Amino acid sequence: MSETALTSSKPKNSLLSQALPYILAVLAAFLATGIFLWLAGFDVLRAYQTILFTSLSSRNGFIQTLLKFVPLVLTALAFTIPSKANKFNIGSEGQLLLGATGAVAVGILFADLPSIILIPLCLLAGIICGGFWALVPAWLLYRFGINEILSTVLMNFISFQVIDYVATEIWRDPLAGHPTTIAIGENAELPLLVSSPPLHSGIIIVLIVAALVYFYTDYTSAGYELVATGSNAKAAKVYGINTRVLFVLALVLGGAMGGLAGAIEVTGNHHRLIEGMQSNFLPLGIIIGLLSRGNHAAIPFVAFFIAVLEVGASALQRTMFIPVELVFIVEALILIFVLLSDFVRRK
């Protein structure tokens, strides 16, 4: 074989060897779930078909998948950006809620502004509020050395009270039977790409943000300093990198991603603040971040796969009366098998 052929085959083999453990992990997770379904008396093949193809078999299913995809990408970035600096943001749930609160406040108070001004203001308010919500644990880490895992989790609980107060005391919707605010102004709503079923333009924003984050962390000197800090903080400090500041910056950037997710959910999807709107985006964002191994180029693809599973789970519950928690089991098994494959490979 010629030298050229050998050279060209190496990247392909390398890519295959990297992807193979993840493919096997997904197959193993579905196999384990299939055994569970079979023992419970369900039609395994029909369940697989429902989970995997509901999103692609209809226009409505595909759009619902894209609507799930948007916050999943951003909450995954909220986890992976700090993890580049070896910090762990477990507060994207609260950051999403505060971002949504900021977007609702601007969308209601300045409802008369034209869309070209009001929509960016709502998104910016979400980013600022989410970043601020992450700045608090970041400052506690910088000033007192308090572990960011604990502080970001505790900030989530505070955010639940904030959203409850806003939705029941400040801008309460008297016609809603659940803590919900009145709607934002129509000028604050994101333009639709598709009207029926509705698909908002937030997906374009998310893809642009994901590309910018990938470029920042992988192709800029500032991103290199962030990665160097996470790889070896002591060595980075020796070479003049202010690691403590970068710890704060990483957490704030992660919070800004969570805040943007909340702002897009308000301006594009719900058009109001709703208690519980954070859904299960926090654990799914962490799972996506772990499955992508911090590779920002892979996050949109992993997020889309998880969104497919989520939409398939809803269809599974409607058509076969299988509990929606089954997909949580699948997602958890995929993560476990991926981690096990890494352990086996190292051994």
Give pLDDT tens digits for 73-131: 999 999 999 999 999 999 999 999 999 999 999 999 999 999 999 999 999 999 999 99
Q: Locate 68 and state its tokens.
A: 């799930």
Q: Does 103 reside within a domain? A: yes
According to DSSP H, which parts of the chain are helical? 3-40, 44-57, 59-84, 92-109, 115-144, 148-165, 202-219, 221-231, 233-238, 243-264, 281-291, 299-320, 325-346
Give the Cα separation of 96 and 94 in Å (integer): 5
User: Can you give the pLDDT at residue 163?
Assistant: 94
The highest-confidence range among 1-5, 292-296, 299-303, by mean pLDDT, is: 299-303
Find out whether 21 and 345 touch, Cβ atoms under 8 Å.
Answer: yes
Q: Residue 181 belongs to a domain with what CATH number? A: 1.10.3470
**Looking at residue 329, what is its pLDDT?**
79
What is the rounded CA–CA span in Å between residue 261 and residue 258?
A: 5
Comparing 36 with 119, which gets the higher pLDDT?
119
In this structure, the number of other CB atoms found within 10 A of the CB of residue 143 comes to 10
What pLDDT shows up at residue 304?
94
Assess if residue 338 is contained within a domain. no
The yes-or-no verdict on residue 199 having pLDDT over 90 is yes
The count of structural domains within the chain is 1
**Average pLDDT of the residues of the chain:** 88
Percent of the chain with pLDDT over 90: 61
Q: Which domain holds residue 148?
A: 58-303
67 CB contacts (<8 Å, ≥6 apart)? 199, 200, 269
* Residue 338 pLDDT grade (very low, low, confident, very high; cuts 50, 70, 90): confident
- For 307-332, what is each residue's pLDDT tens digit? 998 888 778 877 777 777 777 777 78
Task: Report whether 81 contacts 255 (CB < 8 A).
Answer: no
32 Cβ contact list (under 8 Å, min separation 6): 333
Asked whether residue 319 is domain-assigned, the answer is no
Which of 126, 102, 122 is closest to 114 using CA atoms? 122
Residue 142 maps to a domain: yes
pLDDT of residue 5: 41
Is residue 8 pLDDT above 80, yes or no?
Answer: no
Provide the 3-class DSSP secondary structure of residue 189: coil
Q: Tell whether 22 is covered by a domain.
A: no
Q: What is the rounded average pLDDT of the residues 238-265?
A: 94
Q: Is residue 8 part of a domain?
A: no
Cis peptide before 197 (omega within 30 of 0): yes
* Spatial distance between the Cα atoms of 133 and 131, rounded to a whole number of angstroms: 5
Asked whether residue 320 is domain-assigned, the answer is: no
Q: Does 311 reside within a domain?
A: no
